[in-house]
Amino acid sequence: MVVTVTPNPSLDRTVEVAALVRGAVLRADASRVDPGGKGVNVSRVLAAFGHPTLAVMPGGTGELATLLRAAGIQPVSTPARGTTRVNTALVEADGTTTKINEPGVELHAHEVAALVDTVAAHAAPAAWVVTAGSVPRGAPDDLHARIVTAARRGDARVAVDTSGPALAAAVAAGPDLVKPNVAELAELVGHPLPRLADVLAAAADLRGGGIDTVLVSLGAAGAVVVAPEGTWHTASVPVTAVRSTVGAGDSTLAGYLLARTSGASPADALVHAVACGAAAVGLPGTAVPGPADIDISSVKPASAPEESLDLTGEAA
Ligand SMILES: Nc1ncnc2c1ncn2[C@@H]1O[C@H](COP(=O)(O)OP(=O)(O)OP(=O)(O)O)[C@@H](O)[C@H]1O
Ligand SMILES: O=P(O)(O)OC[C@@]1(O)O[C@H](CO)[C@@H](O)[C@@H]1O
């Protein structure tokens, strides 16, 4: 079982327009609403694969709870006042996405404590606890770090996917796995990471600081995993029509954990992770992939990283 924690859940509204024009009245070609928030999305992928999961979040009642139950996920709601935020993605015909994330409900100290205590109460039977996404207003920067510590009271391993000061604090709490993208990792280490060699050096530093596994998603360039067993890179599958990259990183993390909890090696889990991430970008809005959406055979086997790989999109 995997417990996910989403301190700042959302309803994700996706609106498709031919092209975005500032200041104009636009007619949408299509729109949809998905349950959202990074931990929630991890639970959604797990549920789609039939893997047991609990999704812990402040609030998470009303429409969000209805959508989660429809996806086979039992939300575990902790006290919060106010309605779930709506995050809006404006997707143009060429796949360009403009995202506007609302701040979400403000948490008071006792609501923060209730969230952390609820994680502690549910962590014991879990193989993994995943804590992910932004820190809501009112909560401290070390919220994910507190959740890491709370989850550790059981036997669960803990994965973190967040950014900025919250990621720095969480890293100091020593989770078992972190899943930054390149920009998040660069912010954490305080300098740009233009080549794969730079990403590997930063990941190795994190491992040296006590984190077992560093899984870095590289957008269209795939992902790398730096684990005790070794270091591997897998390129992503070329996606002819990118429909929405929203939730691709969450699908990557879920794909990795699904494979690892089934006994796969880190190298094989990386291939499954990339297959899930690539499938997510071909799906609309914050739709997440299930087994029917992924094609493992289209992903190249994991291999030793080519350190000179340019991650800036510019010619070497
Ligand atoms: N343009 C693309 N083409 C093919 N695959 C892609 C593309 N963008 C992303 N992916 C796939 O999705 C995975 C995750 O992408 P990315 O590194 O952008 O995650 P992220 O920044 O954490 O995303 P998010 O925060 O939106 O969930 C990649 O490892 C890759 O497999
Ligand atoms: O505002 P945060 O918490 O950083 O990110 C929230 C969010 O953008 O992340 C998910 C995609 O990863 C979406 O479902 C959701 O809207």
CATH number at residue 158: 3.40.1190.20
154 vs 200, higher pLDDT: 200
In a domain, 90, yes or no: yes
Residue 230 has pLDDT above 70, yes or no: yes
**Residue 195 bridge partners (DSSP):** 310
Please tell me which residue in 161, 250, 268, 293 is annotated as part of the active site. Answer: 250
What residues have CB less than 8 Å from 251, skipping those under 6 apart? Answer: 41, 45, 276, 277, 279, 280, 288, 289
The distance from CA 239 to its chain's CA centroid, rounded to whole angstroms, is 20
What ipTM was reported for this prediction? 0.98
pLDDT tops 80 at residue 104: yes
Query: Distance from the CA of 224 to the center of ligand 1, in angstroms?
Result: 12
The answer to whether position 11 is within a domain reads yes
- β-pairing verdict for 97-100 and 85-92: antiparallel
Q: Show the domain range for 242.
A: 2-298
Average pLDDT over residues 49-77: 96
- Which of 281, 286, 299 has most ligand 1 atoms within 8 Å of its beta carbon, as the pocket-test mutant? 281
Q: Say which ligand is closest to the CA of 39.
A: 2
Domain assignment present for residue 206? The answer is: yes
Mean pLDDT over the full length of the chain? 96
Question: What is the per-residue pLDDT across 23-47, written as a single tens digit (0 to 9) for each?
Answer: 999 999 999 999 999 999 999 999 9
Residue 311 lies in a domain: no
Q: Predicted confidence band at 155 (pLDDT cuts at 50, 70, 90)?
A: confident
Per-residue model confidence (pLDDT) at position 240: 81
Domain count, the chain: 1
Q: What ligand has the least distance to the C-alpha of 89?
A: 2
> Does 190 score more than 70 pLDDT?
yes
- Residue 197: pLDDT band (50, 70, 90) is very high
* Residue 70 backbone dihedrals phi, psi, to 5 degrees: -65, -25
What count of residues does the chain have? 316
Any catalytic annotation for residue 12?
A: no
How far apart CA 104 and CA 292 sit, in angstroms, is 33
Identify the DSSP state of 35.
E
Report the C-alpha gap between 193 and 191 in whole angstroms: 7
Burial of 41 from C-beta contacts in 10 A (0-12 / 13-18 / 19+): buried
pTM for the model stands at 0.97
Q: What pLDDT score does 315 carry?
A: 45
Atom of ligand 2 nearest to the CA of 6: 3
Question: How many alpha carbons fall within 13 Å on the CB side of residue 285?
Answer: 19
Question: What is the predicted pLDDT for the residue at 153?
Answer: 83
Ligand 1 pocket by C-beta < 6 Å: which residues?
181, 217-220, 222-223, 236, 239, 242, 245-250, 252, 274, 277-278, 281
The residues that bridge with 56 in the sheet, in sequence order, are 5, 76
In a domain, 289, yes or no: yes
The residue contributing the CA closest to ligand 2 atom 1 is: 134
Identify the burial level of 122 via C-beta atoms within 10 angstroms of its C-beta, where 0-12 means exposed, 13-18 middle and 19 or more buried. buried
Out of 136-140, 162-166, 241-245, least confident range:
241-245
**CA angle centred on 58, ends 53 and 64, rounded to 5°:** 65
Q: Name the DSSP class of 73.
A: -
Q: Specify the pLDDT at position 241.
A: 85
Phi, psi at residue 79, to the nearest 5°?
-60, 135
Question: What percent of the chain has pLDDT above 70?
Answer: 99
251 contacts 280 by C-beta, under 8 angstroms = yes
Query: Does 304 fall in a domain?
Result: no
Residue 138: HSE in the Cβ half-sphere, 13 Å Cα cutoff? 16
Q: Which residues line ligand 2 (CB under 6 A)?
A: 8, 10, 12, 36-38, 41, 87, 101, 133-134, 246-247, 249-250, 286
Distances (CA, A) of 146 to 40, 87, 214: 19, 26, 20
Pocket-testing residue among 232, 246, 252, 288, ligand 1, by greatest number of atoms within 8 A of Cβ: 252
CA dist 30 and 4 (Å) reads 30
Taking the CA of residue 286 as reference, the ligand 2 atom at the shortest distance is 14
Give how far Cα 183 sits from Cα of 77, 153, 189, 190, 312, Å: 31, 31, 10, 10, 11
